[in-house]
Amino acid sequence: MILLWGCLCWDAEHSQSQDTPPSSITLERLLPIHKESAEAYSFVLEGQPKTTIKLQPTPVSQWTNTRRNSGQLGHVFVWNVGKEPVAIAAIYSFPWQGDASQRRVVHELHALAPTLLQVSRSDSGTLWNPRSPATRINLSGIITSAPTERRFNLALRQIARRFEGYCLEPSGKRWELRLLPTPLMIYPITRGEQSGFGALVGMMGDLGNDLECGLIVEALQDSSTAWQWSFSPIRMTDKETYLQFDGSEIWKNVRSVTNTSWRDSDDLYFRFQDKTVPLN
């Protein structure tokens, strides 16, 4: 069973600022708008046209960030093959041109599948076209017994703590990434001759409680008795991002001509402003 954990709540003590959105603009009120945007996407795994990919009906997270764009509010959606995630999207909105009754909707997407995703939309708008799969990176030196779901959860807790990260503003200002206390989801894996468990782990920064980065962490076993742990980074920010494991750099996202604030070189990550929606 996929485990969905409690949605993130922004403490009212921190929500008071000159950019605080009107009290009538709530996550609950915006959910239908954001979910409608998510429902427009369809996915196919390359070479597997008959595989069914479904949008998880409940967001795995929700968040507010009163420090950006006069108040961002958003939801995080996941699409699954069976119980395994293949894509994630933070769909959020903010007041457009100072008008609280007009919401500018932004899509921030990242591929999660180890197989190339083909993407389509049922509505008009910008089309996301990832050009590579989400490659898994081996985590060497991890020895665990055959992970039942319970053992996987215990081992995951220890392994996730070994990850650290930070983001850099264009000014050079650094802010640290913090692991969310519980995974966004835990799922069983059956992938060819391999089986095991995986987790979607979130990381947030110092500006609000929205996801800035994330990790896919998986433990798989093939026909042998050895278990292999791996991870895949999930970029969810327009900032340069650096991840360490056991104090050593294991991944980074650095600006270049093709790796910009709104997309990376192979479009695994892609962010764009989609449309303006009036609030009823």
Confidence of residue 196 (pLDDT cuts 50, 70, 90): very high
pLDDT for the residue 6: 37
Q: Which tops the pLDDT comparison, 227 or 269? A: 269
Mean pLDDT of the chain: 88
pLDDT for the residue 209: 77
State yes or no: pLDDT of 151 exceeds 70: yes
Give 62's contacts (C-beta < 8 A, 6+ positions apart): 7, 8, 27, 31, 73, 74, 75, 76
pLDDT for the residue 44: 97
Q: Output the six-digit token pair for 182.
A: 């519980």
pLDDT for the residue 2: 42
The whole-angstrom separation of Cα 108 and Cα 235 is 9
State yes or no: pLDDT of 18 exceeds 70: no
Nearest Cα residue to 111 out of 254, 183, 260, 216? 216
The whole-angstrom separation of Cα 261 and Cα 253 is 10
The average pLDDT across 99-124 equals 95
pLDDT for the residue 236: 95
SS3 123: coil
Q: Output the six-digit token pair for 207.
A: 């500006």
What is the percent of the chain with per-residue pLDDT over 70, rounded to a whole number? Answer: 88
pLDDT for the residue 226: 73
- Lowest-confidence range among 20-24, 70-74, 249-253? 20-24
pLDDT for the residue 102: 94
State yes or no: pLDDT of 116 exceeds 80: yes
Contact 141, 227 (CB under 8 A): no
Nearest Cα residue to 7 out of 210, 156, 212? 210
- Give 197-240 pLDDT, tens digit per residue: 999 999 998 766 789 999 999 999 876 667 899 999 999 999 99
- Give 28-87 pLDDT, tens digit per residue: 999 999 999 999 999 999 999 999 999 999 999 999 887 765 678 999 999 999 999 999
Q: Which residue has the tokens 């992970």?
A: 147
Contact 204, 210 (CB under 8 A): yes
pTM: 0.89
